[in-house]
Amino acid sequence: MGLSEQIQEIIDDARRAVDAVASTAALEQERVRLLGKKGALTGLLRSMGQLPAEERPAAGQMINQARETITQLLEGAESALAEKELAQRLVDEKLDVTEPRQLMRVGVPHPTTMVLNEVLDCFIGMGFEVVEGPQVELDHYNFELLNIPKNHPARDAQDTFYIDDNIVLRTHTSPVQARTMLSRKPPIRIICPGRVFRADEVDATHSPVFHQIEGLVIDRDVTMGDLRGTLAAFGKRLYGDDTRLRFRPSFFPFTEPSAEVDLTCFNCHGEGCRVCKGTGWIEVLGCGMVNPKVLDMCGIPSDEYTGFAFGIGLERITMLRYGIPDMRLLFEGDERFARQFR
């Protein structure tokens, strides 16, 4: 068989083989078989040495042309196969994003958390800074510095959990204010949210664990008018623009004068209804001008500075805000309850 017939046979074989190949991996095997070191074409190239010198250039040219032809066959097949394989992968790996599936359950913020965030927002907007402190507190900060000495009757009102003679579960967040006064110089404008504890029986309006948000402002020339304006802004933010407030005289050892603050009933807007027991007003917080004795004990000269303080019961204003009739609902952690207030 002459050289050109041999070459033609190799090309025919290559064409059949490439046509039959079904994957790029199999095609790669064919490339090695046809053009590799052990391939028929390479064999021919090697045997050229046996040809007479004058026939070699023509033979070399034919073999190279054949190599070129086979390379083109392989390349043509390769791009067609790659396209087919991609199309197949797109079919195989298709995801139906509309297919129904088990939905992940996502929780919701607790109503108490939502009201807390709103109150903090309101006071931060007025320039207050949020400060926190320990829940297990020294008697000194919880009582003494707030003008509630040992054996003072005001201690009874707080139903304190004692850890020992000097350590208590804080009964209010006022100790955070005492700590802040001791560690900073005026002007002071802070809001102190946190968990507090009192030895109360659980009922619809009491819990041994609840939350307060207390505020404190100390500067030169702070007046009761400033207190009133600050609380009015808070009342409107929480219960609507037509909310009015009234001060009733009261007593706290750490403020003088002291007041209880009522807001117009969010339900009847002052007409009188079941929620406000017909009075049109709802008691919301305690407040007053910081007692000069407290300022002095906490290292702030009372002849130079004045201040006001207020304390809000977070559960109470949450119940009022959403019309929740029983405080226990806030502590049960029932997700179906929390979902109602989004």
Name the site residues for ligand PHE (rule: CB under 6 A). Answer: 172, 174, 214, 252, 255, 286-288, 309-311
In the complex, minimum distance from the CB of residue 196 to ligand PHE, in angstroms, rounded to a whole number = 7
Would you say 198 and 159 are in contact if contact means Cβ atoms under 8 Å apart? yes
Please say which residue, 66 or 309, places its beta carbon nearer to ligand PHE: 309
Would you say 179 and 194 are in contact if contact means Cβ atoms under 8 Å apart? no
Please say which residue, 84 or 152, places its beta carbon nearer to ligand PHE: 152
- SS3 letters for 118-155? HHHHHHHHCCCEECCCCCEEEHHHHCHHHCCCCCCHHH
> What contacts 206, CB < 8 A, 6 or more positions away?
200, 327
Would you say 211 and 194 are in contact if contact means Cβ atoms under 8 Å apart? yes
End-to-end Cα distance, the chain: 90
Please say which residue, 21 or 305, places its beta carbon nearer to ligand PHE: 305
In the complex, minimum distance from the CB of residue 121 to ligand PHE, in angstroms, rounded to a whole number = 20
Please say which residue, 30 or 214, places its beta carbon nearer to ligand PHE: 214
In the complex, minimum distance from the CB of residue 195 to ligand PHE, in angstroms, rounded to a whole number = 13
> What contacts 287, CB < 8 A, 6 or more positions away?
227, 231, 255, 258, 259, 260, 261, 308, 309, 310, 311
Ramachandran category for residue 168: left, alpha or beta (phi over 0 → left; psi -120 to 50 → alpha): beta
In the complex, minimum distance from the CB of residue 222 to ligand PHE, in angstroms, rounded to a whole number = 14
In the complex, minimum distance from the CB of residue 95 to ligand PHE, in angstroms, rounded to a whole number = 58
Please say which residue, 174 or 318, places its beta carbon nearer to ligand PHE: 174
In the complex, minimum distance from the CB of residue 241 to ligand PHE, in angstroms, rounded to a whole number = 26
The length of the chain, given as a count of residues: 342
CB atoms within 10 A of CB 183: 11
In the complex, minimum distance from the CB of residue 124 to ligand PHE, in angstroms, rounded to a whole number = 19
DSSP conformation letters of 289-339: EEPHHHHHHTT--TTT-EEEEEEEEHHHHHHHHHT---THHHHS--HHHHG
The CB-nearest residue to ligand PHE is: 311
> What contacts 255, CB < 8 A, 6 or more positions away?
287, 288, 289, 290, 291, 308, 309
In the complex, minimum distance from the CB of residue 146 to ligand PHE, in angstroms, rounded to a whole number = 8
Please say which residue, 6 or 255, places its beta carbon nearer to ligand PHE: 255
3-state secondary structure of 159: coil
In the complex, minimum distance from the CB of residue 336 to ligand PHE, in angstroms, rounded to a whole number = 32
Helices (H) and strands (E) in the chain, counts: 12, 9
Please say which residue, 6 or 258, places its beta carbon nearer to ligand PHE: 258
Please say which residue, 67 or 198, places its beta carbon nearer to ligand PHE: 198
Please say which residue, 44 or 261, places its beta carbon nearer to ligand PHE: 261
Backbone angles phi, psi at 11, to 5 degrees: -65, -40
DSSP conformation letters of 191-226: EEEEEEE--PPPBTTB-SEEEEEEEEEEETT--HHH
